[in-house]
Amino acid sequence: MIDKSELLSNEYRLRFEKMEQYRNGVWKILCSEFFSRYIPEESTVLDLGAGWGEFINNIKAKTRFAMDLNADTRQHLTNDITLIQQDCSTSWQVASDSLDVVFTSNFLEHLPNKEKIDYTIAEAFRCLKKGGRIICLGPNIKYVNGAYWDFWDHYIPLTEASTEEMLKLAGFDVQECIPRFLPYSMSNDKNPPLFTVQLYLKMPFVWPLFGKQFLVVATKS
């Protein structure tokens, strides 16, 4: 039987190996042009479900952590990032009240049940400082529809509303809830020029036309 870490490695290689450079370019723009507004450079940040580190490698922060079970994650991270290789639905190897930001993108839907998600979010709440922020980005099943299930390891269908409610139940105060933010995929066989990513971020009036991923931002009060 293939262990979970090896399975994750195989999935990432199958899906992303041919487009790794482009994906990194997209995330470099997303971090500098958009997500940096939520993350001061003196922050301590944890990337939950970091994958190959596209977010955490490109965000500017004083201290950076990446959490993932993927055995290949380490080789994709810059040397100043600390890898926490563990199951996120068990107790985190992170001190309480030590993080400024927890970021997660296209990850929660991969957890096998809602109990695992609840425990994961509870650990994020524990580890964040008072006033700390959680940023959740993910495919919105209201707009993706059947394509949501094109990935074998998608388990939990999520929307911006269910994610907002889940965070509130965990004790967070939701600050922003955007049903349509990014397109479902910004890196596929027809990759648009990177300058179009910058243009898209500057035109929020077009997000309702093309966005199929939600963005929910909440704080620990």
Tokens 């909440």 belong to which residue? 218
What pLDDT sits at residue 6?
Answer: 63
182 token code pair: 């990014």
Beta-carbon contacts of 6 under 8 Å, excluding residues fewer than 6 positions away, are: 71
What pLDDT sits at residue 175?
Answer: 98
Beta-carbon contacts of 126 under 8 Å, excluding residues fewer than 6 positions away, are: 92, 96, 97
C-alpha distances (whole Å) from 144 to each of 20, 118, 189, 213 are 23, 23, 18, 8
221 token code pair: 């009060």
152 token code pair: 């074998």
Count CA atoms closer than 13 A to 72's CA, side-chain side.
Answer: 14
The answer to whether 48 and 102 are in contact (CB under 8 A) is yes
What pLDDT sits at residue 145?
Answer: 87
181 token code pair: 């933010």
What pLDDT sits at residue 10?
Answer: 59
CATH at 87? 3.40.50.150
The list of the chain residues with pLDDT below 50 reads: 187
What pLDDT sits at residue 75?
Answer: 92
Domain count, the chain: 1
pLDDT digits (tens, 9 = 90+) for 137-154: 999 999 998 999 988 889
Give the domain extent around 147.
4-220
